[in-house]
Amino acid sequence: NAGVTQTPKFQVLKTGQSMTLQCAQDMNHNSMYWYRQDPGMGLRLIYYSASEGTTDKGEVPNGYNVSRLNKREFSLRLESAAPSQTSVYFCASSEDGGPGGDTQYFGPGTRLTVL
Amino acid sequence: AQSVTQLGSHVSVSEGALVLLRCNYSSSVPPYLFWYVQYPNQGLQLLLKYTSAATLVKGINGFEAEFKKSETSFHLTKPSAHMSDAAEYFCASGSARQLTFGSGTQLTVLP
């Protein structure tokens, strides 16, 4: 099993450009999440999907959109990138029911720089 | 809203010494509590998880954590540090719909 995979691993964008971060999991998990990690701030939840067909905002959703394409895939889109979105982005998945009690499994991350 | 406080953004210990990483949570009810580890340029991996079954939780790689409700703490310990323990450690608190991470503690192990 590959677990949680993310593409790309690195990306440099110019202000105003758009891009989509891809995430896939092969563990048949129901819930998937997108986080951003900034120095000294831990991980902050951007969006999550408790089950296929549903998405909900997390702590820092502004400037992002998500799509739960199917049970395996959950993408994160930046429509008009800003320097404040320079960060490391992690996708995660868990077996069931929302982000609170389940163990989450993380992908390797995407390092995004917006110039 | 929940919050998680990790005391000490950087901790250094000598190889073979006790590792103690501190975590305090704020919650009106006992939450789910987690410790995750992040090695350089990797994602987070679960070390251990508290689910109210036992106050002392044993995890992987010799780590354990003790839930103390009266102190709202969930400190992570390991009796003897190994060089391979050098990493960043995150405490997290979960309720039904939200997982809140602390800001992380970078552990350095000195030879």
Of A58, A92, A108, the CB nearest to B42: A108
Dist CA A109 CA A93 (whole Å): 13
Q: How confident is the model at residue B69 (pLDDT cuts 50, 70, 90)?
A: confident
Residues in chain B: 111
Q: Which one has a higher pLDDT value, A51 or B97?
A: A51
CA–chain centroid gap for A75, Å, is: 7
- Tens digit of each residue's pLDDT (9 = 90 or more) over B20-67: 999 999 876 667 899 999 998 888 999 999 877 788 999 999 999 999
Straight-line distance from the first to the last Cα atom of chain A, in angstroms, rounded to the nearest whole number: 36
**pLDDT value of residue B73:** 93
Of A44, A45, A106, the CB nearest to B43: A106
pLDDT digits (tens, 9 = 90+) for A98-114: 556 778 899 999 999 99
Taking every pair of C-alpha atoms in chain A, what is the biggest distance, in angstroms?
A: 38
| C-beta of residue B77 within 8 angstroms of C-beta of residue B64 | yes
Task: At B18, list the tokens.
Answer: 């006790």
Tens of pLDDT, residues A45-102:
999 998 888 999 998 999 999 999 899 999 999 999 999 999 999 999 988 755 567 7
CB pairs < 8 Å spanning A and B: 59
Q: What are the E-state strand segments in chain A?
A: 4-7, 10-13, 19-25, 31-37, 43-49, 56-57, 64-68, 74-78, 87-94, 105-106, 110-114
Nearest CA in chain A to B2: A100
Among A109, A85, A108, A71, smallest CA distance to A17 is for A85
Most A-contacting residue of B27, B37, B44, B45 (CB-CB within 10 A), to test interface: B44
Shortest CA gap A98–chain B (Å) = 5
- Beta partners for residue B67, in sequence order: B74
pLDDT at A40: 83
